[in-house]
Chains A and B, each alone.
Chain A
């Protein structure tokens, strides 16, 4: 890049602006509004503020369509995270965010600081984080980078989350060659706060001081947002490693406790964490939300190293820092709290009433720009073009001969095998509230000290999204909701993390537009607000984009006295399937693994049928009819049966099961098709007629498939395998895949 990073202050030219990533129009707008050529520092802050990552310039036009309101919504999009009421005067604060590019370049630190960033977003609002999830996408397991990325990302997530004492209670991971050149790391955290004590990042009070607390500022992560997150990868991407930040979970733990103490004592007017684009974006956003100006004196910023320039201080992405606005009389008390936790707290500026963003360094003013110019770049309406339909071969796939063999292959396959290898490396106990641990349909955490049980899940099937982004994204909402319902929880709010390729390509923008429409329509149907989210574009390498991946994080509230769990409990219980099954094999894991086919149309989605199904399950849970409940998803009914038999926690005995298949459908579609809107439940015999009546009352098909019991899984006369064999294969496959060639 030839970009100076030391004390040089090069002349600002259109050429330099272009190297920074500004377009010709953006350069002209900057000069026109200032009435002069910007200073070097002004160019730097404008570049990061107008980057895709910070400004959402390509996505804002579409995101407006998402529903964001509802009875429970306490805080919608626009703050550090969304907040939804859970009753008892409490709100859950949650958000999902991507850290894709850094994780691909430096998997451990990239993933670790992704966790650190999302945690800060939550406790910035005064909420104590009580649970984290993550959604990961990697390339094909045979790709040379994949295993190292998996090991590094999982270690990084664990290294940060375990150290700071927030349980990682669940998540999802998929492998697909479409991610060979770009892995995805989406991190979700949920916290709890008294509704009345929610802290916002809206600055107020002209003359109020601005404090910078936490870590000192160093030269790490400079231009992470603009160079790393807002551009595609190419052969030189490895050289961008210095733009990845380094995390320190210990300091973050101190910052967490200090921030919550500041909140508890009501010392702050506004709090904003420093994330992408560091001091620049945090101070601009705070001032912008309050409609105020701000002035910063960089000589007051505690620095990690000597000789840092104004440019470097403004753009550093050093982690574990927080900006706090308070009344002048509170400065000493805030500094006292920080001293208790061994943190620095320096007054670095104050709020002004002139709407100008001013920065001084070594006595000279280096930046004087209108706040709104930096904070509100125009939203772009980028061109959208539907790509030509792919050629779909219409031949009928042959039925497999040996169903035992097919099931054994599926159980050991990368996307269907147990993820225990991952969650064994995450502390999912700390906090003392985990009711349903990783491996269930959704994680369930009790808010300690109350009876409130919060369920949460992340979900997206990007193969469906690649085949049809509208249907795929709406299925992601349906399935996330179904995961919550299968845990006995009613969905109450959504956060989305939209991972796509280069938005400058019309076909990528078409995928994005379609996915947003799918999320919108499903959320409207379910009356679910999207209260927070994140967009990650430019997930592509040398012109090859990832499959569209609109990851959905959804939060629910358990209504019944205890959450539902997915495994079969006792011999003699009846097994029922709720919902309609169709002959849908296209887009399934079965089609990909057995036939090598990834084409066709994704499964049908029917919001009304889905809602009716939810009502049946929640109604049954209210009346304690169900012994187990499991969503039927990837791998179809056969995999749902395997999981219901094998996902028993240690210490409880595994059950076999036997089911019959109805006639009139191809057996492979029956067993492995991925028709949406289905639940596999088990009920004590005496409850089955009540369940059948409940389902009939909501118009939901209910079919008695068979019984729990024995030590084998028998699927009609097609499959008969001892469950102990299946469990050993299913649990061990991930470790065998990832550990092969370890320690290289």
Chain B
């Protein structure tokens, strides 16, 4: 399994993500530079958090035009895996690789805190090691993380099980009514509590929470074991899916 983490000018969590993949997960991980269109043969491209190109216009609006994003789009079109975290999610939406958009948070303030997420769907490359209904605790940190899409798109994603994680209360419950006050668990006002979505091709996933900041046991062990390494499940799921596909391919070729 080979990972590539893209560095745009203004990427901030690129080093943290690479550290988790390389040193905690123990996988081969290469740095991908925004000015290059060479993906170096990676299995999964990660677009990390941060403020690509400063994000002064609109989050992700400039990054989509970088040379690397052409290569990422071709990689995705060929079935390659892409994971967008926070700013990476915003870039994927701007680039049209994921539906919908991310706008200013409901409270118009940057928000940084742990949130609880419910795993909605597991038959995919990104959450296949979880159980449906699992509740994860992973931090968010963003000013523009309110997910919006038209109702038809949201309905379609629900039907196709492409909403992979939603914000929820610690017990996994959610408000029944979209118009109810959900500020106790939904940090940004996202439609239908969406925290992360997958494309129709089921190989591109974007989410606002930061799995790389809930993945290193050496860090999570402080504060009285405050957080589990829930974020690691996403990286492990991806690796598991890639390994399985590889085994199937080699079994197929032997036959």
Contact = CB atoms under 8 A, between A and B. Distances in A.
Contact of B139 (A253, A429, A562): A429
A449 B16 CA distance: 11
Interface stretch (B73-81, B126-134, B210-218): B210-218
A341 to B, nearest CB: 7
Interface stretch (B93-101, B105-113, B151-159, B160-168): B105-113
Interface string B216-229: 10110111101100
A437 interface: yes
A446 B24 CA distance: 15
A164 B12 contact: yes
Nearest to A166: B12
A732 interface: no
B16 A426 contact: no
Q: How large is the interface on B (under 10, 10 to 19, 20 to 34, 35 or more residues)?
A: 35 or more
B19 A448 contact: yes
B213 to A, nearest CB: 4
Contacts of B51: 162-163, 249-250, 253
B234 interface: no
Q: How large is the interface on A (under 10, 10 to 19, 20 to 34, 35 or more residues)?
A: 35 or more
Interface in B1-53: 9-13, 15-16, 19-20, 23, 49-51, 53
B53 A250 contact: yes
Contacts of A163: 10, 12, 51, 54-55
B174 interface: no
Task: Summarize A's interface: helix, strand, loop or mixed.
Answer: loop
Interface stretch (A9-17, A644-652, A705-713): A644-652
B156 to A, nearest CB: 33
B10 A435 contact: no
A249 B54 contact: yes
B233 interface: no
Nearest to A561: B221
Contacts of B110: 155, 158-159, 162, 425-427
A432 B9 contact: no
Task: Summarize B's interface: helix, strand, loop or mixed.
Answer: mixed
Contacts of A437: 223
A426 B226 CA distance: 19
Nearest to A649: B226
A650 B113 contact: yes
A431 interface: yes
Interface string A129-169: 00000000000000000000000000100110011110000
Contact of B20 (A251, A432, A562): A432
Interface string B190-228: 000000000000000000001011001011011110110
Contact of B221 (A164, A342, A562, A569): A562
Contacts of A565: 222-224
A467 B210 CA distance: 47
A429 B51 CA distance: 15
B105 to A, nearest CB: 11
B170 interface: yes
A428 B113 CA distance: 9
B230 to A, nearest CB: 11
Contacts of A248: 54
Contacts of B222: 435-436, 444, 562-563, 565
B210 A429 contact: yes
A434 interface: yes
Given A429-B139, A651-B114, A569 B213 contact: no
Interface in A59-101: none
Contacts of B116: 651
B118 interface: no
A428 B9 contact: no
B219 A446 contact: yes
A430 B12 contact: yes
A499 B210 CA distance: 39
A650 to B, nearest CB: 5
Contacts of A342: 9
B9 A430 contact: no
A427 B112 contact: yes
A377 interface: no
Contacts of A427: 12, 110, 112, 141
A254 B213 CA distance: 23
Contact of B224 (A165, A430, A444, A569): A569
Given A163-B54, A423-B112, A432 B223 contact: no
A424 interface: yes
A207 interface: no
A569 B54 CA distance: 42
Contacts of B49: 430
Interface string A423-467: 111111111111111000000101011000000000000000000
Contacts of A424: 109, 111-113
B46 to A, nearest CB: 14
B137 interface: yes
Contacts of A446: 218-219
A425 B109 contact: yes
A651 B213 contact: no
A250 B10 contact: yes
Nearest to A257: B9
Given A165-B12, A425-B111, A428-B112, A652 B224 contact: yes
B10 A253 contact: yes
A254 B53 CA distance: 10
A652 B226 contact: yes
A253 B223 CA distance: 30
A249 B53 CA distance: 10
B199 to A, nearest CB: 27
A158 B111 CA distance: 10
Contacts of A430: 12-13, 16, 49, 141, 213
B80 to A, nearest CB: 26
Nearest to B225: A652
A155 B116 CA distance: 25
Contacts of B141: 162, 427, 429-430
A250 B53 CA distance: 7
A429 B111 contact: no
B112 A432 contact: no
Nearest to B115: A650
Contacts of A158: 110
Contacts of B143: 162
A432 B23 contact: no
Nearest to B56: A250
A486 to B, nearest CB: 14
Contact of A449 (B10, B23, B210, B223): B23
Which of A430, A432, A436, A569 counts the most chain B CB atoms within 10 A? A432
Nearest to B220: A435
A456 to B, nearest CB: 15
Which of A251, A342, A427, A651 counts the most chain B CB atoms within 10 A? A427
A253 B109 CA distance: 22
Contacts of B227: 651
Going nearest first, the 9 A-B pairs with the smallest beta carbon separation are A165-B12, A250-B54, A435-B222, A432-B16, A429-B213, A427-B141, A163-B51, A649-B226, A425-B110
17 contacts: A155-B109, A162-B141, A163-B51, A165-B11, A248-B54, A250-B53, A253-B9, A342-B9, A423-B112, A431-B16, A432-B213, A435-B219, A446-B218, A449-B23, A562-B222, A649-B224, A651-B226
Interface of A: 155, 158-159, 162-165, 248-251, 253-254, 341-342, 423-437, 444, 446, 448-449, 562-563, 565, 567, 569, 649-652
Given A163-B55, A253-B51, 16 more contacts: A162-B51, A162-B143, A165-B11, A424-B113, A430-B12, A430-B49, A432-B219, A435-B222, A436-B223, A437-B223, A448-B16, A449-B19, A562-B221, A563-B222, A650-B114, A651-B226
